[in-house]
């Protein structure tokens, strides 16, 4: 059977696609195409007229589960009716045997709750004053779908889901989050719950059994609102406060019709779906919610072993910055922050516990005039994170700090601590899995050295010359690109060959700030000096922590429109094509004034492989998803994301670390620019010249 699923990107649509695609071919229709699909599905853009027409007319069953939530106010009903009319206009009886329309239980708000305490599919529904736009839309579209299908001789099926529960659904995960802020509930109401996975099973069973020309409530378990809100509050770790009866009665008049079941104690009848589908679930109230995640403060090896042996899914968390940019984890969190400390130093090998920060490592090494060979700009990062994530700065000698690790200890899936010396093949396997917790890390260190950073401003058309290989002229090259103002700031960092009276000591520059602010801050800090000079860790890693970390973290995690930070990496042999696509799509991405992109360069000299990293911070996750799509197209699917930053849920683990054994040496494209030694704006590997820092 061929199914055309319209609205495959919604919370219900994603589960429908997963369920349908097990045994059926599915054309999944989206407003915005996803990056990952089941093997049996093909993606279609709703705006692609030819693609949509072909998908609908080749399907045996068309399922309309789409809702345009971006249209607001007076535009909401016309925008959504336009979608339905378009689909009804495309279906033809020669191919389409069934048209399924997703309505909602909200249509029962049209009934008098006194005369209809039990609300079933056979009740006659009519519009009435006081109904909100969503309710009116569903009432009108049910009639329209039935009428249009009868005119065309096509069978229909109208489904009315009750309160849909499951992972990341508003009435399960969402209500628990809301309870953390305001643990209030209503008493003496009846709520019918259906798990999104059971809903998909019910619908597929109705289709497979040939149920047609029917209206069916998709629902499962009746629970009291007292139990529902009390359970959600318990998962949130908050005491519940119920509104008194007099307040509930008064508030009922103000509750929108979409939430009519909270204004009156009514029950939605779900006997019909059980009879027609044959699906039995046997779920209890707790089964509709995700199990509460534990937060385990791992201060001992025994605590770590207990988590691994528990059999529950978990994430090991170092300093917690990953949580700033990603959705709340449903799994247990093993906090490694306090499993820290330096264990030993033998020659140039330093062994630390996994929760030790790079900042603490550098502080320990400094008195011995030792350091790490490459560093990120920000060093409040745990040593354990450096094994799994590509924690990097800009370096012509290393891909990331991972390349400095010579040995680890880790707890395996059986709770046994094991020791492993560097073995790239074995370590690639360990990094790919999620069944271990790293407990100790050994870094190879090097003698400290002094570096000089010459900061320059250039027109942004010079970016391609750096991406095309110009970054190799420096020990470390970092670019901050401002597409809106068509300029870029460049850090040219090289070993110090001489001292100069106009040198400036290291400071923490605000590299991500808007261009005008950046220039002002640099002018105030540099005051005419030409270079920033200091020991390597102070030049490469000026940021040692975040002031008011807890407060800022809460803003990042809990803001209604969240800031996210994402970094994508592509091989340097296809980076020019990626940057070209990025330039081309910039006008469509809607970058805000002053918004910039960080560009860094790393390399593995032993294989000749080079890598270009592009970083973006934004409240608009679609900008980041667009960058991933461009990287996929420009580099044939060979790209990676920084594991410690924003990672969309559909990204596979193969895109989260760079295999150290993989890949032949790429051939860099011929550069049209002059040779490196004469190229304007690119320094050599020694910063001994008196070049102007800010132009």
pLDDT digits (tens, 9 = 90+) for 482-520: 999 999 999 999 999 887 888 999 988 777 788 888 889
Residue 354 CA to chain centroid, in angstroms? Answer: 25
- Return the pLDDT at 675: 33
| Averaged pLDDT for residues 635-649 | 92
- What would the pLDDT profile of 146-191 be if each residue is shown by its tens digit? 999 999 999 999 999 999 999 878 898 888 888 888 888 888 899 9
The residues facing 164 across adjacent strands are: 194
Say which residue, 526 or 367, is predicted with more confidence.
367
Which whole-number Å values give the CA distances from 303 to 216, 333, 357, 562, in the listed order? 50, 12, 20, 33
- Return the pLDDT at 424: 93
Q: Which of 218, 338, 268, 307 is nearest to 111 (CA)?
A: 268
Percent of the chain with pLDDT over 70: 93
Cα torsion 643, 178, 203, 329 to 10°: value is 20
| Averaged pLDDT for residues 20-42 | 81
CA–CA separation, 572 and 583 (whole Å): 17
- Return the pLDDT at 50: 93
Read off the pLDDT band of 650 (50, 70, 90).
confident
Question: What is the pTM for the complete model shown?
Answer: 0.68
Whether the CB-CB separation of 586 and 483 falls below 8 Å is answered with yes
> Cβ-count burial of 524 within 10 angstroms (0-12 exposed, 13-18 middle, 19+ buried)?
exposed
Neighbours of 226 (CB within 10 A): 15
Across the chain, mean pLDDT equals: 88
Read off the pLDDT band of 589 (50, 70, 90).
confident
Is the predicted pLDDT of residue 380 greater than 50, yes or no?
yes
| Averaged pLDDT for residues 77-98 | 94
Residue 629 CA to chain centroid, in angstroms? Answer: 14
| Averaged pLDDT for residues 616-645 | 92
CA–CA separation, 364 and 356 (whole Å): 11
SS3 612: strand
SS3 328: coil
Residue 283 backbone phi and psi in degrees, to 5: -80, 150
- Return the pLDDT at 643: 92
Of the candidate ranges 36-50, 291-305, 401-415, the one whose mean pLDDT is the lowest: 36-50
Angle among Cα 443, 446, 448 to the nearest 5 degrees reads 130
Read off the pLDDT band of 135 (50, 70, 90).
very high
Which whole-number Å values give the CA distances from 3 to 34, 292, 539, in the listed order? 18, 36, 58
Tell me how far apart the terminal alpha carbons of the chain are, to the nearest angstrom: 65
Q: What structural domains does the chain harbor?
A: 2-164+193-220+268-288 (3.40.50.720), 335-447 (3.30.465.10), 450-695 (3.40.462)
- What would the pLDDT profile of 319-352 be if each residue is shown by its tens digit? 888 888 888 777 888 999 999 999 999 999 999 9
| Averaged pLDDT for residues 659-674 | 46
Of the candidate ranges 238-242, 580-584, 676-680, the one whose mean pLDDT is the lowest: 676-680
- Return the pLDDT at 245: 77
Whether the CB-CB separation of 211 and 157 falls below 8 Å is answered with yes
Whether the CB-CB separation of 204 and 232 falls below 8 Å is answered with no
Whether the CB-CB separation of 379 and 362 falls below 8 Å is answered with yes
- Return the pLDDT at 452: 95
| DSSP string for residues in 491-523 | EEEEE-----TTEE------TTS-HHHHHHHHH
CA–CA separation, 141 and 630 (whole Å): 38
Read off the pLDDT band of 683 (50, 70, 90).
very low
Angle among Cα 285, 290, 294 to the nearest 5 degrees reads 120
Which whole-number Å values give the CA distances from 651 to 18, 35, 393, 570, in the listed order? 16, 8, 23, 15
**208 Rama sector, left if φ>0, alpha if ψ -120 to 50, beta otherwise:** alpha
- What would the pLDDT profile of 512-556 be if each residue is shown by its tens digit? 788 888 889 888 888 888 899 999 999 999 998 888 888 888 888
Which whole-number Å values give the CA distances from 93 to 60, 310, 676, in the listed order? 10, 55, 67
| Averaged pLDDT for residues 478-482 | 95
Is the predicted pLDDT of residue 36 greater than 80, yes or no?
no
Query: Residue 172 has what DSSP assignment?
Result: I
HSE on the CB side for 667, CA within 13 Å? 2
| Averaged pLDDT for residues 90-115 | 93
Read off the pLDDT band of 305 (50, 70, 90).
very high
Is the predicted pLDDT of residue 663 greater than 60, yes or no?
no
Is the predicted pLDDT of residue 213 greater than 90, yes or no?
yes
- Return the pLDDT at 681: 34
Read off the pLDDT band of 249 (50, 70, 90).
low
Is the predicted pLDDT of residue 381 greater than 90, yes or no?
yes
Alpha-helix runs per DSSP H in 214-332: 225-236, 245-252, 260-263, 271-277, 301-309, 322-325
């Amino acid at each position: 059977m061929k199914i055309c699923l319209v609205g495959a990107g919604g919370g219900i649509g994603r589960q429908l696609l997963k369920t349908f695609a097990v045994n059926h071919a599915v054309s999944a229709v989206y407003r915005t195409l996803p990056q990952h699909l089941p093997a049996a599905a093909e993606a279609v853009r709703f705006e692609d007229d030819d693609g949509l027409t072909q998908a609908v007319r080749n399907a045996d069953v068309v399922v309309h589960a789409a809702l345009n939530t971006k249209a607001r106010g007076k535009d909401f009903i016309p925008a959504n009716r336009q979608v339905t009319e378009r689909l009804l206009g495309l279906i033809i009886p020669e191919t389409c045997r069934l048209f399924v329309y997703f309505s909602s239980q909200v249509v029962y708000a049209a009934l008098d709750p006194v005369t209809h305490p039990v609300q079933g599919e056979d009740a006659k529904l009519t519009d009435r004053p006081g109904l909100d736009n969503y309710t009116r839309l569903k009432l009108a579209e049910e009639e329209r779908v039935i009428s249009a299908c009868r005119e065309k001789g096509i069978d229909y099926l109208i489904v009315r889901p009750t309160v849909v529960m499951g992972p990341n659904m508003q009435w399960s995960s969402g209500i628990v989050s809301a309870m953390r802020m305001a643990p209030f509930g209503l008493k003496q109401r009846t709520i019918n719950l259906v798990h999104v996975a059971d809903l998909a099973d019910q619908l597929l069973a109705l289709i497979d059994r040939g149920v047609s020309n029917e209206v069916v409530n998709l629902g499962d378990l009746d629970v009291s609102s007292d139990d529902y809100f009390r359970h959600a509050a318990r998962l949130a770790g908050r005491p519940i406060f119920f509104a008194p009866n007099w307040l509930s009665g008064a508030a009922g008049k103000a509750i929108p019709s979409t939430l009519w079941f909270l204004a009156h104690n009514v029950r939605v009848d779900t006997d019909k779906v059980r009879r027609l589908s044959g699906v039995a679930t046997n779920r209890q109230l707790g089964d509709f919610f995700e199990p509460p995640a534990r937060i385990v403060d791992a201060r001992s090896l025994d605590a770590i072993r207990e988590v691994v042996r528990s059999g529950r899914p978990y994430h090991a968390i170092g300093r917690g910055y990953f949580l700033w940019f990603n959705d709340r984890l449903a799994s247990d969190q093993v906090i490694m922050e306090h499993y820290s400390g330096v264990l030993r130093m033998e020659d140039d090998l330093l062994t630390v516990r996994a929760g030790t920060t790079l900042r603490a490592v550098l502080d320990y090494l400094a008195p011995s005039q030792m350091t790490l060979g490459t560093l990120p700009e920000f060093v409040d990062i745990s040593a354990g994170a450096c094994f799994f994530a590509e924690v990097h700065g800009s370096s012509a000698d290393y891909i990331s700090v991972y390349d400095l690790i010579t040995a680890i200890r880790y707890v395996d899936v059986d709770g046994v601590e094991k020791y492993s010396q560097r073995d790239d093949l074995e370590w690639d396997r360990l990094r790919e899995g999620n069944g271990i917790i790293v407990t100790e890390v050994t870094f190879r260190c090097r003698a400290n050295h002094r570096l000089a950073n010459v900061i320059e401003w250039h027109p942004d058309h010079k970016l391609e010359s750096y991406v095309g290989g110009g970054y190799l002229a420096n020990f470390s090259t970092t670019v901050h690109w401002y597409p809106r103002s068509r300029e870029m700031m460049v850090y040219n960092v090289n070993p110090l060959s001489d001292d100069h009276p106009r040198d400036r000591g290291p400071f923490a520059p605000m590299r991500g700030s808007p261009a005008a602010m950046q220039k002002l801050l640099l002018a105030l800090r540099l005051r005419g000096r030409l270079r920033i000079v200091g020991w390597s860790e102070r030049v490469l890693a000026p940021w040692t922590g975040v002031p008011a970390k807890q407060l800022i973290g809460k803003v990042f995690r809990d803001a209604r429109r969240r800031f996210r930070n994402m970094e994508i990496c592509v091989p340097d042999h296809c980076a020019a094509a990626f940057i070209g696509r990025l330039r081309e799509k910039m006008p469509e991405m809607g970058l805000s004034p002053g918004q910039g992109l960080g560009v860094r360069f790393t390399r593995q000299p032993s294989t000749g492989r080079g890598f270009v990293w592009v970083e973006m911070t934004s409240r608009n996750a679609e900008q980041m998803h667009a960058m991933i799509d461009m990287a996929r197209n420009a580099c044939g699917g060979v790209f990676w994301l920084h594991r410690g930053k924003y990672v969309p849920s559909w990204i596979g683990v193969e895109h989260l670390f760079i295999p150290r054994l993989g890949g032949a040496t790429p051939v860099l494209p011929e550069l049209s620019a002059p040779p490196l030694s004469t190229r304007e704006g690119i320094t050599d590997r020694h910063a001994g010249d008196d070049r102007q820092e800010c132009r």
